Amino acid sequence: QSVLTQAPSASGTPGQRVTISCSGSNSNIGSNYVHWYQQLPGTAPKLLIYRNNQRPSGVPDRFSGSKSGTSASLAISGLRSEDEADYYCAAWDDSLSTVVFGGGTKLTVL
Amino acid sequence: QVQLQESGPGLVKPSETLSLTCTVSGGSISSNYWTWIRQPPGKGLEWIGHIYYSGSANYNPSLTSRVTISVDTSKNQFSLKVTSVTAADTAVYYCATGPSGSYSHYWGQGTLVTVSS
């Protein structure tokens, strides 16, 4: 099982706002930045959000990130069919001295 | 823009050593963190480790006894070695890089390594 906890699946309809959550502990999310990756089917992961809420160049502002305590969230507004993908959260873990990932959330656009 | 390309054998026998190389183009390896991440078929991401361009490395504690990551600045490449492989090491292996050790802006396309006799 993964150190960071994500729901295995989420869904929404086009235009809707969807939130994906990531839960950790004091040694990872509680004391370090959270990052989010999007993995489209058959492709490499792509950095979507870094340092809790920063978007790399080219990532639409429909994607936003937040963190509170030992949990973090990725919000996608104006959901589009091309957003159907797996989403992973990640953070450095001070106790393990390693990057830890969530198990991933598969987002389905209905 | 930095581009990364993994290369190496797609099939490795059990108990042998898995060796992969990541070639960096569009940027110098003499900066940033250089990372290896793997993904077993149908499963999630697992961080293997990273190396700073200066040579300082961190490894996943679950793999540290079997993993070595190194940098060759003369070739603008970095490499991964995993010893004593088993079927559990079968995965798509990605190389990646970023300014921080905890996230990666740029990723290679990934290469599937199968451990089988």
The string of pLDDT tens digits covering residues A14-28 is 999 999 999 999 999
Cα of A72 vs its chain's centroid, Å: 8
What is the DSSP secondary structure assignment for residue A43, as one 8-state letter? S
Alpha-carbon gap, residue B103 to B117, rounded angstroms: 35
Evaluate if residue A8 carries a pLDDT over 90.
yes
Most B CBs within 10 Å, among A57, A99, A100, A101, to test the B interface: A99
Average pLDDT, chain B: 95
State residue A43's pLDDT score. 97
Q: Per DSSP, what are the bridge partners of residue B68?
A: B81
Chain B positions in Cβ-Cβ contact with residue A102 (cut-off 8 Å):
44
Cβ–Cβ < 8 Å for A67, A24: no
The string of pLDDT tens digits covering residues A31-87 is 999 999 999 999 999 999 999 999 999 999 999 999 999 999 999 999 999 999 999
Chain A positions in Cβ-Cβ contact with residue B36 (cut-off 8 Å):
none
Chain A positions in Cβ-Cβ contact with residue B37 (cut-off 8 Å):
45
Q: Residues A17-52, buried b or exposed e (16+ Cβ, 10 A)?
A: ebebebbbbebbbeebbbbbbbbeeeebbbbbbbeb
Evaluate if residue B1 carries a pLDDT over 90.
no
Evaluate if residue B31 carries a pLDDT over 90.
no
In B, what residues contact A, Cβ < 8 A?
A: 37, 44-47, 49-50, 58-61, 94, 98, 100-105, 107-110
State residue B92's pLDDT score. 98
The string of pLDDT tens digits covering residues A84-98 is 999 999 999 999 999
The string of pLDDT tens digits covering residues B78-103 is 999 999 999 999 999 999 999 998 99
Alpha-carbon dihedral sign for residues B8, A100, A31, A62? positive
Q: What is the DSSP string of A52-94?
A: TTBPPTT--TTEEEEEETTEEEEEE-S--GGG-EEEEEEEEET
What is the DSSP secondary structure assignment for residue A4, as one 8-state letter? B
